[in-house]
Amino acid sequence: MAERIARVVREEPRRSFGFLIGVAALLAATVVLVIGLSGTPGAAARGRSAQRAGARTAALSQSQISANVDHLLGEMTVAEKFGQLEQAGPGTPTGSDLIPLAEQGKIGSVLDLTGVDNINAVQQAAVNNSRLHIPLIFGLDVIHGYRTMFPVPLGEASSWDPALISTDESVSADEASADGIKWTFNPMVDISRDPRWGRVVEGAGEDPFLGSAIAAAKVTGYQGSDFSAPDRLAATIKHFGGYGAPVAGREYNTVDMSTQQLFNDYLPPYKAAVDAGAATVMSSFNSLNGVPNTANPYLLTTILRDEWGFGGATISDYQAVQELEAFGYASDGADAARLALTAGENIEMAVQIGATAGQPVYSTYEQYGPQLLKEGKITMTQLNDAVRHVLTLKYLAGMFSNPYQGSDARVASSELSPAHVSAARQMADESMVLLKNSGGALPLSPSTANIAVVGPLADDALNQLGPDVPIGYDTNAADLKSTDKIVTVADGIKAADPSATVTTVNGCTTFTVDDPCNETGGFGAAVAAAQAADVTVVVVGEPSGMSGEASSRTSLDLPGQQLALIQQIAATGKPYVVVLMNGRPLTIPWLANNAPALLEAWYPGTEGGDAVADVLFGKVNPSGKLPMSFPVNVGQVPVSYNELPTGRPYDPTSKWNSRYLDAPNPPQYPFGYGLSYTTFGFSNLSAPTSVSSTGTFHVTADVTNTGSVAGTDVVQLYLHESDTSILQPVKKLEGFQRVALAPGQSKTVTFTLGPQNLGYYNDQGQFVVQPGPFDLWVGDSSAGVGLNSPGLHTTFTLS
């Protein structure tokens, strides 16, 4: 892929709160007000002043927005129209190179520019100096935090708590919008069953039902009920579609799948997010069944617009329109522009406009669009439709009425506010998954005298944020703990047990993607610390750069010599527990068989160390459940609980069935699995024996805390239908609830099910509800209860 020309600002120093720029922004706001009130330029401006009088754009009805957009379209030149479809990133740290483009109306939106002063200066150029005074909208990957960093999305998904996830996104929206960002390229709602693919860290795992609940919650969290509110963002669902199933788990690779698999497994979170009102949709880099998604009319028009009624804007992925040539799908840049635009791609992302000779040209719409129009290869209606979506987005985002939504004052009051930091801790607490705990290894006594905290991630503030730290985040080593307030595991343990002697030893000389603890020279100090301690907390995992975009792996083992480090600590015979930080399910059979306790912390964010300590010392009883299966070995991949049945179901005692010779079929740890410091029992499952294809019905079950400490369980309901025209998964999640229980307490959990839970998409992509016999299970993992018990089971018939 081409160089990311816009990414040079990653090391940008943090914003300055300069008086002069603040005054400039104020003046700019005044100027736009005057322009609006003076009636220039025409009805669009009158619309703007009307909005101002009525506070926010939302005061405008759909038809008023439509009328304003139509009027603007009537005034725009062809070049200005194509300009609105281009999205550029800054080539200089302040974005000064964007100013002439904004003034000339050559861009409609900006990505990757941060800092409210920078943003307001570029906005001012568009609003004051462009011919039609159309504001820009500023977008960024705000994935799991802006300044207050939450656990990575796969970690958030482990909470199975959509309401809390929604809160996280509203915190991110508040912080990012304070800084002038108005549009996030998130949530990533791609389902994946292949942990080789590095981007599983950005999503909600392998299941469409859980993924849909989380997708909708994220959209609502970012947007609220009206994303013109200054503290909200427009959301983007990405990457449409099937992006999570690249062949061999290799990033950007081909996706080839049946219609029914696409509709049943990969599209539901998109549909849920569209129904929740997502403002924009980003197409994916991959091809789907032979057609690159950047120019895929079946996805971008037939499914998205015609079937789902999506009314927002679509956007390509980074320079992906140009890449249609590299696919060999478009013959040249002009053809790429034609194919993308006519397929339904509204905005071209990450363009380079006015490139000097010899540099690649990514702005295919702006470069070739006018000629394509002249030649009749695209129509004015197609162009106007695309521009209409962009202008409407800006109206809905309140950009016309309030183009300067960020401010230094908002930045100062929102970033890392106590409420935001406490939300990050709560989510980190809920995202921890206790994978193993033998012999009461955990929780640790809060009065343990000597604790060794060992391993490359024991005290690594930056890595614990994961791979998606937003552009503009202060990554200076000296600022991570002070300015960014990141709490590492070592810090968290010290704070939780202040009277303990805590010895922190990294053990690994380096911990990078290229050298992820390959040297064992530092192990001696780590082992000595373990020898001297009452207990050792070993914190291992992946350097954060090993997951995320362009980070596929063929091995899912702990990288480098980290397992050897743990084995040396184990050989001391002293107590130890293992904390994992990683962005994907790993293959950890030795740990599963030998470690006394295993806590999956993912990359837990700003408050990660406090949250790990909360769980280690039992202040918080872990309640996270895996959103994605942990395979035994990489040969099992892709692996998920919701596979289709075979004619020769798994039987490890005989040969001629669907199995491996050298490994079991079940994963090490299945979807939905996670332990607690207490135990839960299930009883009294009740469901009707026969249900109809219309209307709803209830399933109830009792869950009891059978242990001696309070805890929260995630009660899960699974279904399977037999005798269908197209095979249905052996199990599929159709309900879940978090239930908090005091010791000995029971609660009755009620699930309400209806046709949407019973039906499936057929090979034409049509949703059908087909009569037949159903199995129903209730438990707290896809394996029933825990790892092996079947859970409660009943059957019913759909007639």
Cα–Cα dist 192/196, whole Å: 10
Least Å distance, CB 119 to ligand BGC, is 16
User: Binding pattern to ligand BGC, positions 263-302, x when CB under 6 A?
Assistant: ----------------------------------------
522: amino acid identity, one letter? G
Which of positions 543-562 make contact with ligand BGC (CB under 6 A)? Answer: 549
Least Å distance, CB 10 to ligand BGC, is 11
Q: Which is nearer to ligand BGC, 139 or 208 (CB)?
A: 139
Q: Which is nearer to ligand BGC, 60 or 111 (CB)?
A: 111
The residue at minimum Cβ distance from ligand BGC is 185
Q: Strand 348-351 relative to strand 746-753: parallel, antiparallel, unpaired?
A: unpaired
Q: Which is nearer to ligand BGC, 293 or 488 (CB)?
A: 293
End-to-end CA distance of the chain: 53
185 binds ligand BGC (CB under 6 A): yes
Helices (H), 235-305: 259-261, 268-275, 297
Catalytic residue, chosen from 265, 317, 408, 713, is: 317
Q: In residues, how long is the chain?
A: 799
Buried-state track 504-532, b at ≥16 Cβ within 10 A, e below 16? bbbbbeebbeeebbeebebbeebbebbee
Helices (H), 344-473: 364-374, 380-396, 408-414, 418-431
Reduced to 3 states (helix: H, G, I; strand: E, B; else coil), residue 280 is strand
Q: Which is nearer to ligand BGC, 92 or 657 (CB)?
A: 92
Residue 385: active-site member: no
- Total residues contacting ligand BGC by CB under 6 A comes to 7
User: Binding pattern to ligand BGC, positions 93-122, x when CB under 6 A?
Assistant: ------------------x-----------
Q: Which is nearer to ligand BGC, 222 or 677 (CB)?
A: 222
Cα–Cα dist 391/387, whole Å: 6
User: In terms of C-beta density within 10 A (0-12 exposed, 13-18 middle, 19 or more buried), how is residue 39 classed?
Assistant: exposed
Least Å distance, CB 621 to ligand BGC, is 35
DSSP 574-586: S-EEEEEE-SS--
Q: Which is nearer to ligand BGC, 110 or 111 (CB)?
A: 111
Secondary structure of 684-723 as H, E, C letters = EEECCCEECCCCCEEEEEEEEECCCCCEEEEEEEEEEECC
Least Å distance, CB 187 to ligand BGC, is 11
User: In terms of C-beta density within 10 A (0-12 exposed, 13-18 middle, 19 or more buried), how is residue 321 classed?
Assistant: buried
Cα–Cα dist 224/226, whole Å: 5
- Please choose, from the candidates 293, 274, 346, the residue with its C-alpha nearest in 3D space to the C-alpha of residue 108: 346
User: Binding pattern to ligand BGC, positions 126-155, x when CB under 6 A?
Assistant: ---------------x--------------
Least Å distance, CB 664 to ligand BGC, is 35
Please report how many Cα atoms fall inside a 13 Å half-sphere around the Cα of residue 539, on the Cβ side: 33
Q: Which is nearer to ligand BGC, 304 or 347 (CB)?
A: 347
User: Binding pattern to ligand BGC, positions 309-338, x when CB under 6 A?
Assistant: --------xx--------------------
190 binds ligand BGC (CB under 6 A): no
Q: Which is nearer to ligand BGC, 287 or 561 (CB)?
A: 287
Alpha-carbon Rg for the chain in angstroms? 27
Least Å distance, CB 199 to ligand BGC, is 8
Least Å distance, CB 549 to ligand BGC, is 5
- Please choose, from the candidates 780, 605, 575, the residue with its C-alpha nearest in 3D space to the C-alpha of residue 676: 780
Note the Cα 450 to chain centre separation in Å: 38
Q: For residue 255, what are the β-bridge partners?
A: 288
Q: For residue 699, what are the β-bridge partners?
A: 751
Q: Which is nearer to ligand BGC, 143 or 591 (CB)?
A: 143
Question: DSSP letter at 59?
Answer: G
- The answer to whether 672 and 733 are in contact (CB under 8 A) is yes
Q: Which residues contact 647 (CB under 8 A, 6 or more apart)?
A: none
User: Binding pattern to ligand BGC, positions 640-659, x when CB under 6 A?
Assistant: --------------------
Q: Which is nearer to ligand BGC, 235 or 341 (CB)?
A: 235
Note the Cα 127 to chain centre separation in Å: 32
Q: Which is nearer to ligand BGC, 6 or 595 (CB)?
A: 6
80 binds ligand BGC (CB under 6 A): no
Q: Which two tokens stand for residue 767?
A: 């949703």
Least Å distance, CB 91 to ligand BGC, is 15
Which of positions 503-532 make contact with ligand BGC (CB under 6 A)? Answer: none
DSSP 632-687: SSGGG-S--TTPPP-SS---TTSSSSS--SSS-SS-SB-TT--B-SS-EEEEEEE-
Least Å distance, CB 205 to ligand BGC, is 17
Which of positions 412-471 make contact with ligand BGC (CB under 6 A)? Answer: none
Least Å distance, CB 318 to ligand BGC, is 4
Asked whether the CA dihedral 320, 321, 325, 330 is positive or negative, the reply is positive
Least Å distance, CB 347 to ligand BGC, is 12
User: Binding pattern to ligand BGC, positions 200-239, x when CB under 6 A?
Assistant: --------------------------------------x-
Q: 417: phi > 0 → left, psi -120 to 50 → alpha, else beta; which?
A: beta
Q: Could you list the residues that contact ligand BGC (CB under 6 A)?
A: 111, 141, 185, 238, 317-318, 549
**Catalytic residue list:** 317
